[in-house]
Amino acid sequence: MNTFLNAANMQHAFTRRPLSIAITAIVIGLPLTAVSASMDLDNIPVTGNPLGVASDDMVVPVSVIGGRELSLKREGTLGETLNGIPGVTATQFGPNASRPVIRGLDGERVRILQNGVGILDAASLSFDHAVGVDPLIIEQIDVVRGPAALLYGGSAVGGVVNAIDHRIPKESLNGYTGRAEARFGGPDSTRNGAAVVDVGNGRFAMHADVYTRETSDLEIPGFAVSKRKAAADGTARNQRGRLSNSDASANGAALGAAWTFDQGYLGLSYANANQNYGVVAEDNVRIDLDQQRWEMAGEVRELRGPFQKFKLRMAHTDYQHVELEDGEVGTTFKNRGMEGSLEATHVPVYGLNGVIGYQFQNTRFQALGEEAFVPSVTSQQQSIYVYEELPIDQHKLTFGARTGEATVNAAASEDPASQFNQTFNRRFNPNSFALGGIVTINHEWSVATNLSHNERAPSYFELYANGEHVATGQFEVGNTELKKERSNGIDAQLRWKSGPHQFSIGAYATRFNNFIGLFDSGNVDAGSGLPIANFQAVPALFKGLEMEGRIGLNDEWTLKLRGDYVHAKDTRNHEDLPRISPLRLGGGLDYRLGALNVRMDVLHAFKQNNLAAGELTTNGYTNLSALVAYKLPVKTNVELFAKANNLLNDEIREHASFLKDISPAGARAVLVGLRADF
């Protein structure tokens, strides 16, 4: 293993500087010489609806970020990129590991996809594990808020985040096209860049992308440790102005190719990603990550017979990261597996439009070393699903179902001293159903509702964990007797759209019969001295509100509004559940005149007093940010931009974070960047 680490470190050292130089050259040179090319990229949201309808015609609430908007909003992690979307916050385990939290649900209940297929990393196991996809190369992100288990399995009971990278070209391309960007600054002194190029002759298309990122320790306003934590347990407040061990480096590249024809495409891609970052909870611990991913995708349309379209998506992932303690290997995590789906769109039958699909996933997870708190596990899942839409005049009814099988088998360790000395085999049959519809009141107003029943098989760590988990500061104990997690949900939105103006407000409630959570037992492990936390199933209720609006004041000015609120309780003991984001309200002004774009945005999070056992109150904060962007007067599309975040230099601590009391968000800072489309 030391040999592997030395080779990996040599690779990082070798590739980082040449890669930075290459990307800088691409950013400066390509836009000046590029010629026009025709490429029709599929940017409609398909996540949450296999028929590919626009987000306005979908029953579940969906947010779509792509193109220029994504480029300007892009942050270092997927969680921070999406943080602030109504209903979405982030786990924020320091600046390098942050997963999205949707409506108070995270971990296994939020499915992270890449091009519609699971990424199969180790991020849901522990909050200090980074998500295995870098926002720098993503072209579009779809966020489904609320249960999407019908199409993506029980793990999507909270929602879905689908990162789309176009590494497999899906449309005919005659010529070449691409983008490049570089950015510098921010509270972590980031230096990053990315370049994406697609070339084709009308029949065959190829894709290539490359990216690099380097950051320093995060600058923070004031002390890393909160006043409340210092008062509660006496933790010293001796780290001020900078968050130690929060620097990072990352790089990656990908190649893809596809044969495109009038009725579809067939393609293959390969990607490699490397990341090395500090774990802010421990000054002497770093994570070195390597991931390789093969993808295959194809589609055939305009067929005769009962099915008019077939779509295939498959990915094989080989993921590994090592946790280095003072430069020595402490624990190694591996996840290797394959996931795929085959989907058939049938011809309309009595007005019904829909699909029938088959999905499978096979993975082998291993944790090796002194902090391995879960055994080696082999998981297999397969399921079939159906989704149908029935237009009724100007209204629409949607319904569907999924049934499947999941096995989670743990192997006994060959080490006689290991705590994992038993073999366990569990089998589950999760089923999900949904019924929804859109009622059009008039040409401006509509109401969308969705009723769902969702079932989720317990994850391997919920079943088999048994050991010290430093990231959460607990000794975690799984429960091999856990049953399927069952929930019933209702979601409703009132939508208004008139020309450039649009507004929506929605409410939702999800009742769990047996919500699987990690709860403090009140006992302390004699060996580690950590509090013992058990995975248990309790009845729970999640309910909340979401609001989003966009009002065009005139040709130059646009007003934006947003807000969300979620409340979650253990209904058996009438206690609040942990790490639930407080009420948030925000708004902004967007000014556009010719090549100039100026934005001002504010988000206020209120104080969180609804606390679970062992939690501390989190103060409210106000995040004021600004953006100035200017398109340069050159033949190709080149834009210079500057972003300022946390202009009030407020102490921002996300209640959804395990580290909120030792790791605040960054201080006031300005980032400058250059982006080009050609």
3-state secondary structure 515-563: EEEEEEEEEECCCCCCEEEEEEEEEEEEEEEEEEEEEECCCCEEEEEEE
Type of residue numbered 118: G
Give residue-wise pLDDT tens across range 512-542.
999 999 888 888 988 888 899 999 999 999 9
Query: Which range of residues forms the domain containing residue 341?
Result: 2-677
**Residue 68 gets which letter from DSSP?**
H
Q: Residue 46: its pLDDT value, please?
A: 64
335 touches 289 (CB < 8 A): no
User: Greater confidence, 382 or 44?
Assistant: 382
Q: Residue 10: its pLDDT value, please?
A: 37
Q: Residue 22: its pLDDT value, please?
A: 36
What CATH number did the domain enclosing 403 receive? 2.40.170.20
Q: State the burial class of residue 10 (Cβ atoms within 10 Å of its Cβ: 0-12, 13-18, 19+).
A: exposed
Closest CA to 486 of 420, 433, 556: 433
Backbone angles phi and psi of 7, in degrees to 5: -65, -40
Q: Residue 1: its pLDDT value, please?
A: 38
Average the pLDDT over 405-426 and give the result: 85
Judge whether residue 4 has pLDDT over 70.
Answer: no
What is the three-class DSSP state of 643? strand
Please report where in the chains the tokens 């626009």 appear, as a residue: 54
Q: Residue 631: its pLDDT value, please?
A: 95
Least confident piece of the model among 319-328, 439-448, 581-590: 319-328
Q: Residue 6: its pLDDT value, please?
A: 41
* pLDDT above 70 coverage of the chain, percent: 92
Judge whether residue 2 has pLDDT over 70.
Answer: no
Question: Which residues, including other chains, have CB under 8 Å from residue 176's CB and lie 6 or more apart?
Answer: 34, 35, 37, 197, 198, 199, 200
Round the average pLDDT of the chain to a whole number and report it.
89
Q: State the burial class of residue 336 (Cβ atoms within 10 Å of its Cβ: 0-12, 13-18, 19+).
A: middle
Q: Residue 19: its pLDDT value, please?
A: 39
Q: Residue 417: its pLDDT value, please?
A: 66
Least confident piece of the model among 118-122, 224-228, 313-317, 476-480: 118-122
Give residue-wise pLDDT tens across range 280-305.
988 889 999 999 999 999 999 999 99
Backbone torsion region of residue 96, taken as left when φ is above 0, otherwise alpha when ψ lies between -120 and 50, otherwise beta: alpha
User: Pseudo-torsion of CA 251, 373, 430, 89, nearest 10°?
Assistant: -50
* Number of domains composing the chain: 1
Please count the other Cβ atoms lying within 10 Å of the Cβ belonging to residue 573. Answer: 11
Backbone angles phi and psi of 315, in degrees to 5: -150, 140
Please count the other Cβ atoms lying within 10 Å of the Cβ belonging to residue 392. Answer: 11
Q: Give the separation between CA 335 and CA 344, rounded to whole angstroms.
A: 30
Average the pLDDT over 43-69 and give the result: 76
pTM of the model: 0.90
Give residue-wise pLDDT tens across range 23-34.
333 333 333 333
Q: Kindly state the tokens that stand for 180.
A: 């490049």
